[in-house]
Amino acid sequence: MTITATYETPFRRRKEGKTDYSKRLALVKSRKLRIVVRKTNSRIIAHAVKFDPKGDITIACVDSIDLKKFGWYGTNNTPSAYLAGFYLGKKIGAQACVLDIGRKHPSHGSVIFAVVKGAADAGVLVPFNASAVPSEDRLNGKMLDEYAKKLGDKAKVMFSKYIKAGITPGEFSKAFEKAKSEIAKVKA
């Protein structure tokens, strides 16, 4: 007599809501490098990951905190996400990749698509819908400039960490362009 199980225990990461295995299998089957983007409360983290049966191999990693060495105070905002993606793209060069956002739902105009736009501008071949990318004013910091002007004197309090990093409120787009030009000098 054969006994069959009536209940199958799900994988731990599926049970915890961390991994969608059907989505992951589709990404792995593509045999392309994956751009893995994760957003925390204080930073953006982007990895270029290659599948290996023994475990994924990280080819390159960029944290928005790494942008400080290029003159940008990296947080989890849209310009930081774009620059992180641009830096990752410069590190890995022109390769065909797919986007891996994990269990996050793709939201048009989100920082996830800012990372993808940055990587694509650096030469990475990654498919994405251009309508999902944030506006150019959000990407290059002009929206932050307008917000700082609207705040007036309160901007010094609101953007105090930027001031410590040497970025004056109202000049975010200039600092963004300077950081982008410094990152553009990075060789793969």
pLDDT digits (tens, 9 = 90+) for 58-105: 999 999 999 999 988 878 889 999 999 999 999 998 889 998 887 677
Per-residue pLDDT, averaged over 119-128, amounts to 92
Residue 35 lies in a domain: yes
Residue with tokens 């295995």, as numbered in its chain: 21
Residue 11 lies in a domain: no
**Dist CA 61 CA 67 (whole Å):** 12
**Dist CA 92 CA 188 (whole Å):** 6
Domain count, the chain: 1
CATH label of the domain that carries residue 38:
3.30.420.100
Given this model, what pLDDT does residue 29 score? 72
Given this model, what pLDDT does residue 1 score? 62
Residue 12 lies in a domain: no
**Residue environment code for 107-137, b if the CB has 16+ CB neighbours within 10 A, otherwise e:** eeebbbbbbbbbbbbbebebebeeebbbeee
Residue 6 lies in a domain: no
Residue 1 lies in a domain: no
Per-residue pLDDT, averaged over 11-23, amounts to 70
Given this model, what pLDDT does residue 21 score? 67
Contact between 114 and 128 under an 8 Å Cβ cutoff? The reply is no
Domain containing 53: what range? 19-183
Looking at per-residue confidence, does 5 or 169 come out higher? 169
Given this model, what pLDDT does residue 76 score? 87
Residue 106 lies in a domain: yes
Q: Quick one: pLDDT band at residue 19, thresholds 50, 70, 90?
A: low
